[in-house]
Amino acid sequence: MLKYIAKRLLIMAVTLWVIVTLTFILMISIPGSPLNSERNTNEVVQANLEAHYNLDEPYYVQYMLYIKSIVTFDFGPSIKQPNQTVNDLLGRGFPISFELGIITIIVALISGITLGILAALRHNGIIDYLAISLAVLGISIPNFVLATLLIQKLAVDWNILPPATWSSPAHMVLPVIALATGPMAIIARLTRSTMLEVLTQDYIKMARAKGLSPWKIVLKHALRNALMPVVTIMGTLLAGILTGTFVIEKIFAIPGMGRYFVESINQRDYPVIMGTTVFYSAFLIFMLFLVDIVYGILDPRIKLHKKGGA
Partner 1 sequence: MEKILEVKDLHVTFRTYGGTVKAVRGVDFHLNKGETLAIVGESGCGKSVTSNAIMRLIPNPPGKISNGSIRFKEKEITRLSEKQMRSIRGVDISMIFQDPMTALNPTLTIGTQLVEGLQQHRKISPTEAKAKALDMLELVGIPNATERLKQYPHQFSGGMRQRIVIAMALICDPELLIADEPTTALDVTIQAQILELFERIQESTGVSIILITHDLGVVAKIADRVAVMYAGKIIEVGTKREIFYESQHPYTKGLLNSVPRLDLQGEKLTPIDGTPPDLFSPPEGCPFTARCPFAMEVCDNVYPVTTARSDSHKVDCWLQDERAKQLLATAEK
- Contacting positions for partner 1 (CB under 8 A): 201-203, 205-213, 216, 220-221, 224-225, 298-301, 310
Three-class SS state of 305: coil
Nearest residue (CB) to partner 1, 221 versus 268: 221
Q: Nearer to partner 1 by C-beta: 150 or 230? A: 230
Q: How many angstroms separate the most distant Cα atoms in the chain?
A: 86
Q: Nearer to partner 1 by C-beta: 31 or 309?
A: 309
> Please, which residues have CB within 8 angstroms of residue 67's CB and are 6 or more apart in sequence?
20
- State the minimum distance, in angstroms, from the CB of residue 192 to partner 1: 18
CB of 284 to partner 1, least distance (A): 27
Structure letter (DSSP) for residue 152: I
Smaller CB separation from partner 1, 16 or 298: 298
Please state the closest distance from residue 202 (CB atom) to partner 1, in A: 4
| Alpha-carbon span 273 to 23, nearest angstrom | 8
> By the 8 A CB rule, do 179 and 244 touch?
yes
Report in angstroms how near the CB of residue 236 gets to partner 1 at its nearest.
23
Phi-psi region of 309 (alpha: psi -120 to 50; beta: other; left: phi over 0): left
Q: How far is the CB of 288 from partner 1 (least distance, A)?
A: 22
For partner 1, the closer CB: 103 or 204: 204
218, 256 Cβ separation under 8 angstroms: no
Cα(137)–Cα(85) distance, integer angstroms: 43
Q: How far apart are CA 240 and CA 118, in angstroms?
A: 25
